């Protein structure tokens, strides 16, 4: 298994190009199943997760062609006919978001058999809201031996669906199914994450009728068929935020380019409060992060649905707080078990105590390099951030988690002066 080794202490100077958003790209790829015409996605990130989903889509009858187009990395997905409408456990298990093919398969073919995704390290992550939404749209759902069997032989029918709490995946799933349902669907208490707006825009380009974008109430008027389209994936706000934390932790002067400033406003506010110099140019889509030798100030944090502070940046921000002056309280409200990075950060000398959904971080003057283990995607990045500032060498094991969601991480940080390298397999350098 590959590992990443970082020799801490180098300042970061330079610019980091932000890739297309993973969590948008994979839902957009699933949307391609809704039409028999080609969907061209540009600004596509090349990640393990997009590769997994590509494999699943190919199995379902899609051709998935990646290339470097005139607008950068692109993927053209084309499913003239759906073969089988079955998403097996071994493919869904590798990536939970594969479960989101259920709605499009059902909407297009009237039936689907998709493996339940199971829990993961950050929590139980049930899919009850996804299934209830599909049932509200008229699907008959049965669960057998770990699989969801869904049927709607006469097609889906529009309905009013009020989510009891905000769910990104369930909102996206209901949207993906409702676009081809007969009549009008109203989604209330819908998630407002930018990835949902991006999915809605792509579906509109494919011929869907959706109103209320970026609000908690989405109104969808079903259409008979969708067509092909070309759509650019939005910049990855979590990658943007993670590199902002990395730059603030290492110190230096870094420009994050090709991003969207409003997507990370909650993080930028917290960073400014902590003493990081943040200069954002919304028009140019650039954020400049500067920090001198002085220590940051501890600030408290509560994760919330968008536009609140994203749970996916909780671990990176906690890493930043490990060397701040004072005590910071970090409360996680989205997932029940999202502090797996805390004991690993402690191995680097951080002073963190977790109790229930809250972590207390007491800033220390200096972290020290050690061997640590990546536990999930965003947690892994927090270990890289800590390693950038730690004295000596930090080795992060199990970085396949990082490869799921961060494109060319060593190159992006290395180009700014970080002493970072990938160790192949058993730890030997490539
Ligand atoms: C998406 O997960 C993201 N994943 C997550 O990013 C992100 O952390 C999360 O949204 C919150 O922003 C993708 O987009 C692929 P939810 P999702 O449904 O859709 C509970 C990453 O690292 N819930 O908004 O699964 C759930 O357990 C990942 O890129 C139910 O109880 O998140 C959680 O506690 C990690 N029943 C809460 O709702 C359901 O049917 C919010 O989850 C659905 C969700």
pLDDT, position 205: 98
Is residue 182 one of the residues assigned to a domain? Answer: yes
Kindly state the helix (H) or strand (E) to which residue 250 belongs, with its residue range. helix 237-250
Q: Distance from the CA of 254 to the center of ligand 1, in angstroms?
A: 30
- Please work out whether the CB of residue 315 comes within 6 Å of at least one atom of ligand 1: no
Domain-located, residue 19: no
pLDDT tens series, the chain, 430 aa: 889 999 999 999 999 999 999 999 999 999 999 999 999 999 999 999 999 999 999 999 999 999 998 888 999 999 999 998 899 998 888 888 899 999 999 999 999 999 998 667 777 789 999 999 999 999 999 999 999 999 998 999 999 999 999 999 999 999 999 999 999 999 999 999 999 999 999 999 999 999 999 999 999 999 999 999 999 999 999 999 999 999 999 999 999 999 999 999 999 999 999 999 999 999 999 999 999 899 999 999 999 999 999 999 999 999 999 999 999 999 999 998 899 999 999 999 999 999 999 999 999 999 999 999 988 899 999 999 999 999 999 999 998 889 999 999 999 999 999 999 999 876 544 4
Q: Strand, helix or coil at 109?
A: helix
Nearest to 405 by CA among 384, 373, 376: 376
Q: Are residues 244 and 276 in the same domain?
A: yes
Question: Could you tell me which residues come within 8 angstroms of residue 426 by beta carbon, excluding any fewer than 6 positions away?
Answer: none
Taking the C-alpha atoms of residue 112 and residue 109, their distance in angstroms, rounded to an integer, is 8
Q: Is residue 258 domain-shared with residue 186, that is, in the same domain?
A: no
Residue 68 within any structural domain of the chain: yes
Q: Is 317 left (phi over 0), alpha (psi -120 to 50) or beta?
A: alpha
Query: Can you give the residue range of the structural domain that contains 55?
Result: 25-232
* CATH number, position 374: 3.65.10.10
Are 186 and 269 in a shared domain?
no
The domain boundary, picked from 212, 232, 252, lies at 232
Report the pLDDT value the prediction gives residue 71, as an integer from 0 to 100.
Answer: 82
Spatial neighbors of 245 by CB under 8 A, at least 6 apart, are 267, 271, 313, 316, 317, 319, 320, 385
Does 247 lie in the same domain as 179?
no
Residue 430 included in any domain = no
Q: How far apart are CA 391 and CA 50, in angstroms?
A: 35
Q: Annotated catalytic, 120?
A: yes
Q: Which helix (H) or strand (E) holds 66?
A: strand 63-69
202's CB contacts (< 8 A; 6+ apart) are 28, 31, 39, 41, 229, 231
**End residue of a domain, out of 217, 232, 247:** 232
For residue 169, report the distance from its CA to the centre of ligand 1, in Å: 6
- Contacts of residue 428, defined as CB under 8 A and 6 or more positions apart, other chains included, come to none
Within a domain: 401? yes
> Exposure of 100 by Cβ count < 10 A (0-12 exposed, 13-18 middle, 19+ buried)?
buried
Residue 408 is assigned to a structural domain of this protein: yes
Would residue 378 count as lying in a domain? yes
Q: What pLDDT score was predicted for residue 430?
A: 45
SS3 142: strand
pLDDT of res. 426? 60
Give yes or no: residues 308 and 390 share one domain. yes
Predicted local distance difference test score (pLDDT) of residue 120: 73
User: Is 217 found in the same domain as 275?
Assistant: no
Q: Which atom of ligand 1 is nearest to the CA of 405?
A: 29
d(CA 212, CA 22): 24
Q: Looking at the structure, do residues 330 and 254 belong to the same domain, yes or no?
A: yes
Question: Are 189 and 88 members of one domain?
Answer: yes
CA atoms 9, 240, 28, 126: torsion sign: positive
Edge to edge, what strands does the sheet with 277-281 contain?
A: 12-17, 252-257, 286-291, 277-281
Among 291, 283, 245, smallest CA distance to 261 is for 283
* CA of 379 relative to ligand 1 center, distance in Å: 15
Q: What is the pLDDT of residue 277?
A: 98
Ligand 1 near 279 CB (within 6 A): no
What is the C-alpha separation between 148 and 139, in angstroms, rounded? 11
Whole-angstrom distance, CA of residue 311 vs CA of residue 317: 10
- Looking at the fold, whether 351 and 374 belong to one and the same domain comes out as yes
User: What is the number of the ligand 1 atom nearest to the C-alpha of 376?
Assistant: 22
Residues 288 and 340: their CA atoms lie apart, in Å, by: 30
Annotated catalytic residue: which of 120, 192, 202, 245? Answer: 120
Rg (CA), the chain: 22
Atom of ligand 1 nearest to the CA of 191: 24
Together in a domain, 401 and 386: yes
Residues 244 and 217 reside in one and the same domain: no
CB 402 within 8 A of CB 375: no
Q: Which residues contact 363 (CB under 8 A, 6 or more apart)?
A: 295, 296, 298, 321, 322, 323, 324, 325, 326, 327, 328, 351
User: Does residue 263's CB lie within 6 angstroms of at least one atom of ligand 1?
Assistant: no
**Residue 415 within any structural domain of the chain:** yes
Give, in order, the Cα–Cα distances in Å from 52 to each of 1, 49, 59. 18, 5, 11
Cα 167 to ligand 1 centroid, rounded to whole Å: 6
Number of domains in the chain: 2
Q: What's the CA dihedral at 419, 420, 423, 428 to 10 degrees?
A: 10
Q: What is the pLDDT of residue 189?
A: 98
- CA-based diameter of the chain, in Å? 66
Identify whether residues 160 and 72 lie together within a single domain. yes
Q: Which of 208, 232, 256 is the last residue of a domain?
A: 232
């Amino acid at each position: 298994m590959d590992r990443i080794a970082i020799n801490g202490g180098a300042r970061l100077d330079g610019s980091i190009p932000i890739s297309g958003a993973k969590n948008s790209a994979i839902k957009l790829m699933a949307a391609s199943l809704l039409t028999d015409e080609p969907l061209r996605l540009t600004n596509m990130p090349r990640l393990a997760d997009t590769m997994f989903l590509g494999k699943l889509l190919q199995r379902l009858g899609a051709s998935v062609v990646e290339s470097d187009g005139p607008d950068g990395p692109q993927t053209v997905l084309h499913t003239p006919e759906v073969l089988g409408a079955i998403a097996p456990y071994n493919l869904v298990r590798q990536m939970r978001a594969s479960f989101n093919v259920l709605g499009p398969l059902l909407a297009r073919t009237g039936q689907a058999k998709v493996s339940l995704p199971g829990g993961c390290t950050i929590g139980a992550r049930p899919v009850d809201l996804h299934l209830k939404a599909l049932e509200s749209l008229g699907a008959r759902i049965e669960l057998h031996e770990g699989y969801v069997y869904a049927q709607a032989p006469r097609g889906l029918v529009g309905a009013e669906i009020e989510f009891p709490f905000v769910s990104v995946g369930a909102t996206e799933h209901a949207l993906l199914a409702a676009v081809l349902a007969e009549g009008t669907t109203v989604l209330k208490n819908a998630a407002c994450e930018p990835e949902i707006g991006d999915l809605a825009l792509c579906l509109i380009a494919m011929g869907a009728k959706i109103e209320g974008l970026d609000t908690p109430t989405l109104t969808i008027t079903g259409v008979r068929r969708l067509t092909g389209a070309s759509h650019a994936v939005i910049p990855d706000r979590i990658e943007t935020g993670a590199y902002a934390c990395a730059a603030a932790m290492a110190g230096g002067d870094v420009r994050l380019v090709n991003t969207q400033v409003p997507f990370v406003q909650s993080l930028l506010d917290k960073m400014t409060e902590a003493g990081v110099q943040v200069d954002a140019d919304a028009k140019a889509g650039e954020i400049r992060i500067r920090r001198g030798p002085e220590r940051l100030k501890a600030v408290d944090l509560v994760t919330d649905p968008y536009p609140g502070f994203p749970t996916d940046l909780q671990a990176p921000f906690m890493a930043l707080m490990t060397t701040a002056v004072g005590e910071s309280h970090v409360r996680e409200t989205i997932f029940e078990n999202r502090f797996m990075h805390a004991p690993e950060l402690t191995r680097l000398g951080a002073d963190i105590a977790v109790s229930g959904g809250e972590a207390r971080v007491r800033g220390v003057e200096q972290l020290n390099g050690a061997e640590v283990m990546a536990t999930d995607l965003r947690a892994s990045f927090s270990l890289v951030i800590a390693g950038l500032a730690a004295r000596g060498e930090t080795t992060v094991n199990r970085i396949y988690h990082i490869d799921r969601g961060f494109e060319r991480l060593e190159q992006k940080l290395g180009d700014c002066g970080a002493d970072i390298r990938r160790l192949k397999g058993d730890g030997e350098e490539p």
